[in-house]
Amino acid sequence: MKRILITGGVGYVGGRLAQHLLALPDPPELRLTTRREPGRIPAWARGLDVRHADMRDPEALAAAVQDVGAVVHLATANEVEAERDPEMAVALTGVGTYRLLTASRAAGVARFLYLSTYHVYGASLAGTVSEATVPRPIHPYAIAHHLAESFVDSHRVTFGMETAILRVSNGYGCPADPQINRWKLVFNDLCRQAVRDQHLVLKSSGRSRRDFVSLQNVCRAAQHMLSLPGWGDGLYNLGGARSMSILEVAERIARAYEARFGRPVEIKTGVDREVSGPRPFVYDVKKLEDTGFALSDNIDEEIRRTLELCAAR
């Protein structure tokens, strides 16, 4: 396989993906882009081909895609940044993706894989959500991703470029670099609370349910997509194939903490703002599974690794 470019390659998902691909028996040659300055590159990435490239800089993007066979695009604004500055999110995620696609097409990049979010389907999801579900993005983070998706799909239809979109549900797992500012994510926040406070505080009753997918499965899915001979219509859901309540997540983390460190963890719950109970929700990943991909059950391993990283900080 020719060189793979991972944008956002030292970030939360990108760092794990890069490490996953480098650990393969026959690892591909990687190039990573980041907005970080050279002095802030994590130790594991030193010695790799890491380029400083902002998604709003066409010249940097044009240089990054030279001699690249495939792009895995992850360099987008996260939900906190998007809520704080929606215009920046649209420029970075939406327009930036268009610029990267344009540069990739000009450079003759064969394949372009975009990791989007299931939040494009809307808020308060219920029932079964499949690729046929009509997107109704509400949050600036989801709106920016949906714009980026539209550009990805337009390059497939208009220019015949081989592109694919993975709509990823709530990712969880140990970051490749503890300096990555993703500690407000549910799993990461609760793991940090367990280590720091020996108790977990939920802002609600914890009854609300979400679909969660481990970073290991995200990495495996990206690897699987890159190995597929064709991508069909280029749209796939990626989730954990089951929803969990926040309380179930907290209980799982509490058990893992006690098993690893020998101390119990108390869980304190809050009060729900809404009186109605959680609505059933299924994030349908059958379309991806029909291509031969199978999820692995590694939730306890991800929790253990995250707890140990928190304890070492």
pLDDT reported for residue 278 = 55
pLDDT reported for residue 124 = 81
Those residues whose C-beta lies under 8 Å from the C-beta of residue 67, and which sit 6 or more positions away, are 2, 3, 107
CA distance 244 to 238: 16
174-211+242-275+294-312: which CATH number, 3.40.710.10, 3.40.50.261, 3.40.50.2300, 3.90.25.10?
3.90.25.10
pLDDT reported for residue 298 = 84
More confident residue, 271 or 279: 271
pLDDT category at 151 given cuts 50, 70, 90 is very high
pLDDT category at 1 given cuts 50, 70, 90 is low
pLDDT category at 169 given cuts 50, 70, 90 is very high
Mean pLDDT of the chain: 93
What is the per-residue pLDDT across 12-56, written as a single tens digit (0 to 9) for each? 999 999 999 999 999 999 999 998 887 789 999 989 999 999 999
SS3 200: strand
Measured in degrees and rounded to the nearest 5, phi and psi for residue 246 equal -60, -35
What is the per-residue pLDDT across 56-112, written as a single tens digit (0 to 9) for each? 999 999 999 999 999 999 999 999 999 999 999 999 999 999 999 999 999 999 999
What is the per-residue pLDDT across 183-204, written as a single tens digit (0 to 9) for each? 889 999 999 999 999 999 998 8
Among 149-153, 178-182, 298-302, 304-308, name the one with the lowest average pLDDT: 178-182
Q: What spatial distance separates the first Cα and last Cα of the chain, rounded to whole Å?
A: 37
What is the CATH superfamily name and number for domain 4-171+212-238? NAD(P)-binding Rossmann-like Domain (3.40.50.720)
pLDDT of residue 300 exceeding 80, the answer is yes
Bridge partners, 127 (sequence order): 281
pLDDT reported for residue 280 = 72
Q: Which residue has the tokens 């994030």?
A: 283
CA distance 121 to 119: 5
pLDDT category at 182 given cuts 50, 70, 90 is confident
Do 4-171+212-238 and 174-211+242-275+294-312 show the same overall fold?
no
Instruction: For residues 265-281, give the mean pLDDT.
Output: 74
Measured in degrees and rounded to the nearest 5, phi and psi for residue 48 equal -90, 170
SS3 266: strand
pLDDT of residue 241 exceeding 90, the answer is no
pLDDT reported for residue 178 = 82
pLDDT reported for residue 313 = 79
pLDDT category at 128 given cuts 50, 70, 90 is very high
pLDDT reported for residue 71 = 98
Per-domain residue ranges of the chain: 4-171+212-238, 174-211+242-275+294-312
pLDDT category at 273 given cuts 50, 70, 90 is low
pLDDT reported for residue 274 = 57
Alpha helices in 117-270 (DSSP H): 140-159, 186-197, 215-227, 246-261
